[in-house]
Amino acid sequence: MFLSRRTFLGTSAATAAGLAAASSASQLHAQGKAGEERVDVSQLGKTPHTKFAVNLEMWWRRVPKFEDRIRKAAEFGFPAFEMWPYQGKDIDAIAKLNKELGIECSQFTAWGFEPGMNNPANEDKVVQQIEEACQVAHKLNVRKMCVVAGNLQKGMTMEQMHAQVIKTLKRAAPIVEREKVMLILEPMNGRVDHPGHCLYGSVDAVKICRTVDSPMVKINWDLYHMQISEGDLCGRLKDGFDQCGYLQLADHPGRNEPGTGEIHYNRVLRQALELGYKDYVGLELTPKTTELAAAIAVAKADVW
């Protein structure tokens, strides 16, 4: 898919700025009729340093059919996508389409906010669902599944809730070790998106995962949540990198693409690479204007 530069630059000034950097890094240019320079949209997701997985719950929201969103991600050249709960989706159709398009699902949600993993009453349910989710992961050839600790439980202290999360993850650990599917525990932020949750920032998440002590139970290190909860993104990532299983990003404020907020993602992504992170980085963000502009900005963040 090609867009003329003249048409493309008319969309927004921000997109034009992103194009300049992304073009040199990702070889986005092709020669059109009469020498007009055009943008090869299929190259946008093929960034040189970082492998991005676009979150299809937040990108192309106006496209009703999930499989069509996968086609959009592939059209933009992204090597992978991520999604939230697998329930309600046609897993067989997605698996077939992934093979046809040569695109991966980097991770999905195996256990969400409610009912909380931090409540003893839910422990057996969590373990049972992890068993089921592993089989879904095998169908989709997915290596990682996200789990959420849970919202505040009445009558329980934070220490008690975290202890229950540890207990549940220790029960789940032999399952995911056997099935070779990593659980990634996601800390949230309480100031903007998830007030009333029980797990914020990297410190407690690192402590939980080190206590569980499994190579298949790590952290879904969402840099957007970490920025709001604690900041010092490069330093915190370095401190807890042994427990980092997966990275996600969005800028802040706004939860949009890099370049729309305060985070200098070029530096943060470079730090992740230097620490040895080579897996997908999830784009769990809402494009501020268009998916096209967002993809350009993402490519720009991979330039250093």
Cα(224)–Cα(247) distance, rounded to whole angstroms? 10
Cα(199)–Cα(164) distance, rounded to whole angstroms? 12
Confidence bin at 10 (pLDDT 50/70/90):
very low
Q: Are 295 and 75 in contact (CB under 8 A)?
A: no
Listing DSSP states for 214-248 in one string gives -TTEEEEEEHHHHHHHT--HHHHHHHTGGGEEEEE
Confidence bin at 1 (pLDDT 50/70/90):
low
Provide the terminal-to-terminal Cα distance of the chain, rounded to the nearest Å: 27
Mean pLDDT within 131-137: 98
- pLDDT confidence of residue 26: 41
Mean pLDDT within 186-193: 98
Query: Which SS3 state, helix, strand or coil, does residue 78 take?
Result: coil
Q: Which residue carries 């993809």 as its tokens? A: 295
> What does the pLDDT look like over 75-133, one tens digit per residue?
999 999 999 999 999 999 999 999 999 999 999 999 999 999 999 999 999 999 999 99
List, in order of start, the domains of the chain with CATH numbers: 47-301 (3.20.20.150)
Query: What is the H or E stretch that residue 144 is in?
Result: strand 144-147
- pLDDT confidence of residue 48: 97
Whole-Å CA distances, 67 to 20, 58, 201: 31, 14, 33
Q: What is the mean pLDDT of the chain?
A: 91
For residue 115, whether the previous peptide bond is cis, meaning omega lies within 30 degrees of 0, is yes
Confidence bin at 3 (pLDDT 50/70/90):
low
Amino acid at 68: D
Mean pLDDT within 8-34: 41
- pLDDT confidence of residue 28: 44
- pLDDT confidence of residue 27: 45
Look at 22-31, 139-148, 221-230 and tell me which has the smallest mean pLDDT. 22-31
Higher pLDDT: 114 or 36? It is 114
- pLDDT confidence of residue 223: 99
Q: Percent of the chain beyond pLDDT 90?
A: 87
The token duo for 164 is 């229950």
Mean pLDDT within 215-231: 98
Is the model's pLDDT at 17 over the cut of 80?
A: no
Mean pLDDT within 156-181: 98
